[in-house]
Amino acid sequence: MARTGFPDDLYGDLIASGPGGAAAKRLGLPVPPRLRRYAPGQDFLTGPAVVLRVGTAPPAADVAAWLAAAGAHVVADPDAAGGDRLGAVVVDATAARRLADLAQLRELLAPAFRRTARSGRVLVLGAVPAEVGGDAGAGFAGAFGDVEGRAVQQALEGLVRSLGKEARGGTTVNLLRVAAGAGEALRSPVEFLCSSRAAFVSGQSLLVGPAPAPAPVRERRVVVVTGAARGIGAAIAEVLARDGVHVVCVDVPAAGEQLAHVANRVRGSALTLDVTAGTAPRALAEHLRRRFGGADAVVHNAGVTRDRSFVNLDEAAWDTVLGVNLAAPLRLTEQLLSTDGALAPGARLVCLSSINGLAGAKGQTNYAASKAGLVGFVQALAGPLAERGMAVNAVAPGFIETPMTAAMPPVPREVGRRASSLQQGGLPVDVAEAVAWLASPGAGGVVGQVLRVCGQHVTGA
């Protein structure tokens, strides 16, 4: 089996062999680390966890207790870990307001970072810069508000992204912005980003706010996944099923056989539906209402590409891509929201965007427009949905090893695969873990966000 689980990462396979890895190191070539991915029954972390705190204000939350409850052995400081390398380092910098606090952060974090284990986790908790204030008179001219406090909080962004690029051995570095009143809503994001489910998430910043009152959790949650017959959609169905969800697998009639196979494998159900058909929104809404009493989450994953330079792009290539990738999620969501009983209370929506949608890509004006459009869709809908106790977010995958990327010409494929801090393509399961987490009841404090699952890819970083 290839080390990446994909047959054509020849370089990755070569490096995985002892002599190949040693030769690559000597030549200064990238040595992609083997990532530790989630497997049932494995230890939560690869070593003890430490929770550090900048400043003297009370901590944002009892992170140490959450980590311990998730199975971590939490030690008071890096030295208390004995000779063990650290599985997770969490730094609560929410109270940092002065440059001296940043200096303290460096002092605390540097020795711990040096001692992180392979596939370790570094997580910085920061405040929301726009919420920093009210401290007039202190620091930078009080008349302007707490300018120094905001600058210090923004500084965390650069620090975390740089640290992600310096991390080795599959260690990831991320930032959680803790909004006022987030409280318990922070727990699930902390657990996710410290876990092996987030193996391909690094260099990211995510905002966490207060979660609405939780809706009653049904015995078996029901989640719709469009484009579930193969690739990332099939992986999403598998991860959701692993987590006890009934998955309604949707795909075009032409993919019916593959779809039935996936639905059987995950003990879910299959619904053949072209999401662009005029009748699709009503058919899906009625199916969910009648058969399940509403869906707990909908994953808009179905997507297509028709790459061509802008001047050579014909109407069909434009319409197909915009129709599947953007118009269908808009129309389906509109109908689901206006059909009583199609969505369960507290429902979650997750859209599959793309880092190419955030950054743009040559030959992909149609695709990037559709994927950037989904980000706008998520941001516009976040507020109104939050008022209904629902949440919508996007996941933006980077280079993922799928038949889509396997079909790329060899040179751009190899460049794309290595151009991230983790120096390899992600696997469909990496995207699936992030989607399943955002669709889970615990993720209620994350709303209107775009989570990149890209190993900190250089594109649009």
Indicate which residues carry an active-site annotation. Answer: 367
DSSP state of 325: I
Radius of gyration of the chain (CA): 22
Taking the least distance from each CB to ligand NAD, the nearer of 108 and 352 is 352
Backbone angles phi, psi at 254, to 5 degrees: -65, -20
Structure tokens at 74: 């939490």
Min CB(393)–ligand NAD separation in Å: 14
DSSP state of 457: B
Q: How far apart are CA 86 and CA 37, in angstroms?
A: 17
Taking the least distance from each CB to ligand NAD, the nearer of 50 and 259 is 259
Strand, helix or coil for residue 277: coil
Taking the least distance from each CB to ligand NAD, the nearer of 160 and 395 is 395
Min CB(417)–ligand NAD separation in Å: 10
Residue type, 271: L
Min CB(284)–ligand NAD separation in Å: 11
Taking the least distance from each CB to ligand NAD, the nearer of 87 and 426 is 426
Taking the least distance from each CB to ligand NAD, the nearer of 281 and 303 is 303
Q: Which residues of 52-76 are buried (b: 16+ CB within 10 A; e: fewer)?
A: bbbbeeeebbebbebbeebebebbe
DSSP state of 185: G
Structure tokens at 92: 């609560």
Min CB(181)–ligand NAD separation in Å: 33
Query: Beta-strand (E) ranges in 80-221?
Result: 86-92, 116-127, 172-178, 205-208
Min CB(53)–ligand NAD separation in Å: 37
Q: Which parts of this chain interact with ligand NAD (CB under 6 A)? A: 226-227, 229-233, 251-252, 255, 274-276, 301-304, 324, 352, 354, 397, 399-400, 402-405
Query: In this structure, are residues 185 and 210 in contact, taking their beta carbons and an 8 Å threshold?
Result: yes
Decide the pairing of beta strands 450-453 and 295-300: unpaired
DSSP state of 77: S
Taking the least distance from each CB to ligand NAD, the nearer of 231 and 346 is 231
Min CB(409)–ligand NAD separation in Å: 15
